Amino acid sequence: MSAPKDTHRRIADNRKARHEYEILEELECGIELCGTEVKALRTGEASIAEAFAMIRRGELFLVNCHIPEYRQGNVHNHEPRRERKLLVHRKELAGWEAKVKEKGITMVPLALYFVGQRVKLRLGLCRGKKLFDKRASVREREDKREMARALQRRRE
């Protein structure tokens, strides 16, 4: 019998982040969860749209991520918007800490997903886009779409 393959099963995406921010770097990190949080994540109802990461006392935390309470939980259920510790290597954290101190750089969660049995978070080192950058991104996306349509019509 072969070993099971790692499956990447998406829980939540922050689609707005790719529009609002220019992503400079990405980092996959673990997330410290309690038991009812993992069970609640399996239902796929989490939200990372308003979340952000911050470094405090040499540790990385995810703030404002909403994981709803587990419906079959009891009095030991978790707090939906509690701060959660993110698990990264110390060297990676030190590098990102120096970059975050620059003006206008922030850490934004991009995706939350399962890798096998473990929950992972893709974190982006981001700089906010100006309005004209957003317009340029939309225009570029529409141009690509139009070129693809033209090629499709030409093939027919």
Rounded to an integer, what is the distance from CA 31 to the centroid of its chain?
11
Residue range 40-90, pLDDT digits in tens: 888 878 888 888 888 889 888 988 888 888 777 666 677 778 888 898 899
In 10 A of CB 134, how many CB atoms?
13
Report the distance separating Cα 145 and Cα 129, nearest Å: 22
Average model confidence (pLDDT) for the chain? 82
How remote is the C-alpha of 147 from its chain's centroid? Answer: 30
Q: Between the CA of residue 59 and those of 53, 80, 84, 87, what are the distances in Å?
A: 10, 21, 11, 8
Maximum separation of any 2 CA atoms in the chain, in Å: 63
Mean pLDDT along residues 10-18: 83
- Lowest mean pLDDT segment, chosen from 3-12, 20-29, 137-146: 3-12
The reported pLDDT for the residue numbered 94 is 86
Cα–Cα distance, 103 to 17 (Å, whole number): 18
The structure tokens 């510790």 sit at 85
pLDDT in tens, 92-112: 888 888 888 888 888 899 988
For 136, the token pair is 């340029």
pTM of the predicted model as reported, rounded to 2 decimal places: 0.72
Domains, the chain: 8-129 (2.40.280.10)
